[in-house]
Amino acid sequence: MQTLSAQGPRPTEPICGRSGVLALQIYRAAVASVRADSLVARAFDSFLGQSALVLPTGERIALSGFEHIYAVGAGKAAAAMALACEVALGERLTEGLVVTKDGHSLSTLRIDVIEASHPTPDHRSVEAGARIAAIVSRATIRDLVICLISGGASALMELPEDGVTLEDLQATTELLLRSGAPIEELNAVRACLSKLKAGGLARLAAPARVVCLLISDVLGNPLDVIGSGPCFTTARRPVEALDILQRRGLTEIVPRSVLQHLRSLANTIQAESYDTSQVDHVVLGDIDTALDAAMSEAERLGLDTTILTNRMTGEARDAGVRLAHAALDLTLQAQPPGPGCLIAGGETTVTVRGSGLGGRSQEIAVTAASLLDGVYDVALLAAGTDGTDGPTDAAGGLVEALTSARAHSAGRTAEDALLNNSSYDYLEAAGALLKTGPTNTNVGDLVIIVHAPPITPDARTGE
């Protein structure tokens, strides 16, 4: 069985000075705090030899009380969650299957792990959805179904509604992504097109006891949005989905079958809702978990630290401007200038206009690089906690005073990178890409700004 490193991700580090080194250390501590295996392990407890799932209410669900226990799920952290679930359940586990993003699988013994495409579903997503549906449909009132959900689940576990094809889902997903739709809008549409979303998985598992363990990458942890709510049995909102397509100018270009299905749904179950009493949801970790750990590590390193926001949203390049100005302000606040740190968390969006390669954290970094050009002793790190920013192999970027100059000497400019959505190439040319590999977690994105002037004899003595 494969285990995860206790040290968290080990980045391929960008070119950086003291401030950048500290920012990387803070980032590693934040990601380590939301490791999927550790978070899942905490949900299980054993007392006097009696193993149980412990709910936030304090209720203990004794595992010995079930005839069969099934574990299913999806997401970028699903394999690590499955690994921890196997350890906790042992031979009590009857059967399991989780689906994760390409390159994110781990070796397991009792729970099957398969890979599929993200952020756009593929045939493997549908095959996984069908297999998961078959597993939970076998559950009876004497059984327990544990659903393991993390960011990315919406694309990875799919089972289209009748009349909607995989190709329809792919086209709709791509159009929404390119329009810059946030995760809430993307999932609102996808929930109406799937048999597993909006409580569909829980309905298939009824009348079994269902417990959904979640690692949230959605701000505010709305249960109907995380993974499109496979166990949150709520009414689907086709009118809202149609409105989203209209506002984003997609009504005329999405597949006709999608519009037909949404309009039919709006006329038939607009007020439909389902009983949620049989499903327990446990949010194991989220962006606040990572932010708290980042702040603790920054303070341990002697930095005067402030969390700017846990709700970082909007266009990535706009966020980059705001955060770069915050970094500039940080260098001016202390008299004499001293070490400080600003931290932000959330999830921005990118409206795709060009054909380049990049991601939202990389666009934040590129935007900030030009504004921090020549500003020494400050670093800005922008990266996803999952280790993969957009359709790239980088988690994000780390920029400092000389980043812009290095990129320019390689023939790259921030203006061109943002115009063509080619932030990856810009940061790679500047030696500013942050590559961690899959981290087996996903709670959103982090921005860590560090101002750490060099330690000199005068600074140490105050003379």
- Provide the token pair at 356: 């380049």
Whether residues 366 and 342 share a domain: the answer is yes
Strands (E), 136-236: 144-150, 209-215
**Shared-domain flag, residues 291 and 281:** no
> Are 80 and 107 found together in one domain?
yes
Angle between helix axes 360-371 and 316-333 (nearest 10 degrees) is 40
The answer as to whether 65 is a domain residue is yes
Domain assignment present for residue 8? The answer is no
Whether residue 333 sits in one domain with residue 228: no
Average pLDDT, the chain: 90
Predicted local confidence at residue 238, as pLDDT: 87
Show the CA angle centred on residue 82, arms to residues 132 and 189, nearest 5°: 50
**Same domain? 135 vs 68:** yes
Percent of the chain past pLDDT 90, that is, above it, reads: 81
Which of 285, 313, 346 corresponds to the end of one domain? 285
Q: Are residues 335 and 277 in the same domain?
A: no
In the block, which residue shows the tokens 């004899």? 457
The per-residue pLDDT for range 234-263, each reduced to its tens digit, is 667 888 999 999 999 999 999 999 999 999
The bridge status of strand 340-346 relative to strand 445-451 is antiparallel
| Contacts for 169 with CB less than 8 Å, ≥ 6 apart | 121, 158, 160, 190, 193, 194
Instruction: Evaluate whether residue 83 is within a structural domain.
Output: yes
Alpha-carbon distance of 357 to 370, in angstroms, equals: 19
pLDDT above 90 (res 11): no
Task: Report, in angstroms and rounded to the nearest whole number, the Rg of the chain calculated over CA atoms.
Answer: 23
With a cut of 80, say whether residue 163 has pLDDT above it: yes
> For 291-345, what is each residue's pLDDT tens digit?
999 999 999 999 999 999 999 999 999 999 999 999 999 988 755 556 899 999 9
Give yes or no for residue 2 having a pLDDT over 80.
no
Q: Which residues sit opposite 4 in a β-bridge?
A: none
Tokens 């100059």 belong to which residue? 405
Q: Can you tell me the mean pLDDT for 61-90?
A: 96
Tokens of 295: 């702040």
| Angle at alpha carbon of residue 135, lines to 131 and 141, rounded to 5° | 160
228 and 301 part of one domain: no
pLDDT for 189 equals 93
> pLDDT band for position 131 (50/70/90)?
very high
Tokens of 63: 């595992």
Tokens, residue 435: 């590559």
Residue length of the chain: 463
Domain residues for 101?
35-159+194-235+270-285
Residue type (1 letter), 338: G
245 vs 229: CA distance, rounded Å: 20
Q: Which of 248, 231, 264, 246 is nearest to 74 (CA)?
A: 231
Helix axes 183-191, 238-247, angle to 10 degrees: 130
Strand, helix or coil for residue 164? coil
| pLDDT at 99 exceeding the cut of 70 | yes
Name the residue with higher pLDDT: 265 or 342.
Answer: 342
pLDDT of residue 261: 92
181-200 pLDDT, tens per residue?
998 899 889 989 999 998 99
Indicate the range of 31-35, 270-274, 296-300, 409-413 predicted with least confidence.
270-274
* Residue 259: inside a domain: no
pLDDT of residue 267: 83
CATH of the domain at 149: 3.40.50.10180
Percent of the chain with pLDDT over 70: 91
pLDDT value at residue 338: 66
Q: Cite the beta strand spans of 134-180 per DSSP E.
A: 144-150
Tally the domains of the chain. 2
CATH label of the domain that carries residue 336: 3.40.1480.10
pLDDT band, residue 7 (cuts 50/70/90): very low
CA distance linking residue 166 with residue 369, whole number of Å: 40
* 278 and 213 co-located in one domain: yes
Q: Taking Cα atoms as reference points, which of 147, 28, 12 lies closest to residue 441?
A: 28
Angle between helices 166-178 and 183-191 (to 10 degrees): 160
| Domain match, 296 and 445 both | yes
The pLDDT of 396-418, averaged and rounded, is 96
**Structural tokens at position 171:** 């086209």
Edge-first strand listing for the sheet containing 111-116 = 111-116, 93-101, 69-74, 144-150, 209-215, 279-285
- The pLDDT, as a whole number, for residue 5 is 42
Are 431 and 304 part of one and the same domain?
yes
Predicted local distance difference test score (pLDDT) of residue 456: 59
Residue 417 has pLDDT above 80, yes or no: yes
Question: Do 128 and 27 belong together in one domain?
Answer: no
Q: Is residue 179 part of a domain?
A: no
Whether residues 413 and 274 share a domain: the answer is no
Letter string b/e over residues 59-91, b meaning 16 or more CB atoms within 10 A of that residue's CB:
eebebeebebbbbbbbbbbbbbbbbbbbebbee
> What is the reported pLDDT for 49?
64
Asked if residue 59 is part of any domain, the answer here is: yes
The answer to whether residue 395 is domain-embedded is: yes
How many C-beta neighbours within 10 Å does residue 207 have?
11
**The model's pTM:** 0.87
Domain edge (last residue) among 285, 317, 343:
285
Is 182 part of any domain?
no
Q: Does the pLDDT of residue 10 top 70, yes or no?
A: no
